[in-house]
Structure 1
């Protein structure tokens, strides 16, 4: 833990991602204090440019854009993290079991994962969300389904590699129960790569959730959500560009910060790259 500060000083991009993410999270946590209600309508204040009264201006209904960005980000990031947590739990469990047990179990789980991975992630998420119906809960489930096979494939590879290590073979020879081997040896030694994938997947989940919101399959009006707000205000981009650019920039910053942090985690879990960073 003593090397974390020095690592971030050497890895400027990881530090930048962590700093941007920290600022975003701070703004989202303080949203009720920093910004008024995101659904309060005042048509007398419609399409005001950024200024002292409204730092990011107002939209076509007179709602404060900064307030909608902050409150919408709470939903978008919560969904992104929740989606990845769900996909991580299901995918890692399935992939680790498949890689460790092998045989028919491995074949069935991996063929299902391959079938899901054969579709582009966003296309599959759109199809699932459309079938389930619009709403944040269904959008969250749809994105989780598209991400779980990625974790399963990576976890299987880690399990196959670790299962041949001498300490695992010794545990098997000693008669250690398979579940204990999985939880004490296989999963802890493969968690680094999985955490890196999880951090990168949060950025992907944010983009997919915003994409579903843009298509009307995520949050429904008047709830604030970055993707839905971009879609709603896209027609006004020439007249009042701030109403669409603000949530779009928030999506960009959130996804970029998680990707930079993921790259930093990849360096951290690789001792050679960590010392050279």
Structure 2
């Protein structure tokens, strides 16, 4: 018999359910208004399609990262063993890897580990390159290293998102499925799966959308503007060549468009705050 029962002669009441932490969407929007970031990215074979349902978007990211790691020098054997270490039927080809891949927490753990291994390997090769020991060039990471490092960071974001999902939710269950299972290709004419709506906060959705949008492409220009007036612009040396200099004009247009939109958002936020304050003051006088 517990202490509560000995003292009061009855069982202790069930604990009060703990409310989940409130979504930080308002905080995120407020932070977004304080800082603006504009990226110009080089991408081949653009389709212009919107982000698909969440499990397919996560699967897109996982497949793209695996393909990029392989193109950066990771062998198919290393990739397969890293992803399917516990599977007796370890896939051997890139096609088999894609067919068996599912966007689970464990798969993104594996992708992060493979990316870290490759990143360390490339860094060691760069530092040990003949004739570059101790030079400034040896200290500068390559494009492959920068992209691989971004994949590691984005896997951290995805893992944090997945950890926050309810275990009995629809999305958590769909993360265990392959592309064929998600799209109904192996259901023999059965009705397709209901891909959504999913129990995910707007904050996490915005984080995932950015990971999906940027992908593994090279960011050639980036401008960051803060409300304090600080402006930081990063430009790839590629844009200094005559062939690609026109991309700077495209980036300037994007910055101009974004700052105009940012200004409108700031004005709308100020207007809403003024109206809310006026309504609050008016009600308190009654």
Which TM class, normalised by the smaller chain length?
0.3 to 0.5
TM-score (norm 1): 0.33
Whichever structure has more strand as a proportion of its residues is 2
Q: Which has the larger radius of gyration?
A: 2
